[in-house]
A and B are shown apart, each in its own frame.
Chain A
């Protein structure tokens, strides 16, 4: 009798645990693919943590939908937060680049560290089909260039609403 009760309690715990895990997974999925519109026509997708097949697929779908919804032509894929880019991860990244290109958007991979670049070269992975930059800032600069925009320091006007009369 007590054996059975203990068994029931245990399975109850298991169910609770399973629910908790499922909920946490949902939270992680919601958190892991924030697609940010940084400028009209420019999206940013910061990736934090490792990229497995399931996550890559989810990322892909979210990103492509957002490209269409916002009519964006450039995506900055930020891999600063990806600890290791190996053969599998780079394959996923290249798939994202290819799919976005089919829609008519260009993906720039930014945030490649020296170490990552070295790993990619040593693994013999070909990323020549993708434009890459070391930092998000450089990527953004390039994106502005592609859209025919440039960032200039504000000219001192004789009457500046913020500064008053000069």
Chain B
């Protein structure tokens, strides 16, 4: 059982996956992130999967679900560090993860998530 550590950095949550995830670990991550979001009211989530070398349709869909779930809880999700081989696999599986925003590394992930949070704030305030 490989628990994924979830770090709180200012108003963001950072989950760094440490090894290839089994289905149960991935599901645990989804639940843990949900709970952490609820607890911290974080505005954004960064999931680093740079060490993940194998992704199946289950994990692909789960990443989509996490992004959708976080959005409902008012947080923006960015997945960072997807490996080229993983990207090719996902596209071949027809999982383009359209609901998930991505960045090359954690550093760029921070920049992107900040931008998304600003956009969301703007969208919410202009609608009211």
Contacts and interface: CB of A to CB of B under 8 A. Distances in A.
A98 B104 CA distance: 14
Interface stretch (B13-21, B65-73, B88-96): B88-96
A105 interface: yes
Interface residues of A, number: 18
Interface stretch (B27-35, B79-87, B118-126): B79-87
Nearest to B63: A102
B105 interface: yes
B104 A64 contact: no
A102 B90 contact: yes
Nearest to A105: B104
B36 to A, nearest CB: 23
B88 A104 contact: no
Interface string A73-107: 10000000000000000000001001111111100
A68 B91 CA distance: 17
B108 interface: yes
Interface of B: 80, 82-84, 86-88, 90-92, 96-97, 102-105, 108-109, 112
B96 A103 contact: no
Contact of B96 (A61, A98, A105): A98
Interface of A: 60-61, 64-65, 67-68, 71-73, 95, 98-105
Contacts of A72: 104
Contacts, number: 52
A68 B84 CA distance: 8
B91 A102 contact: yes
A71 B96 CA distance: 21
A103 B108 contact: no
A101 B96 contact: yes
A105 B102 CA distance: 8
A3 to B, nearest CB: 51
B84 A61 contact: yes
Given A61-B84, A68-B84, A98-B96, A104 B91 contact: no
A103 B88 contact: no
B84 A104 contact: no
A25 to B, nearest CB: 22
A104 B87 CA distance: 10
22 contacts: A60-B88, A64-B87, A64-B88, A65-B84, A73-B108, A98-B96, A99-B84, A99-B87, A100-B87, A101-B102, A102-B82, A102-B86, A102-B96, A102-B97, A102-B102, A103-B82, A103-B84, A103-B102, A104-B80, A104-B103, A104-B108, A105-B104
A87 B29 CA distance: 39
Given A72-B104, A103-B84, 13 more contacts: A68-B84, A68-B104, A71-B104, A98-B96, A99-B88, A100-B87, A101-B96, A102-B82, A102-B91, A102-B96, A103-B82, A103-B104, A104-B102
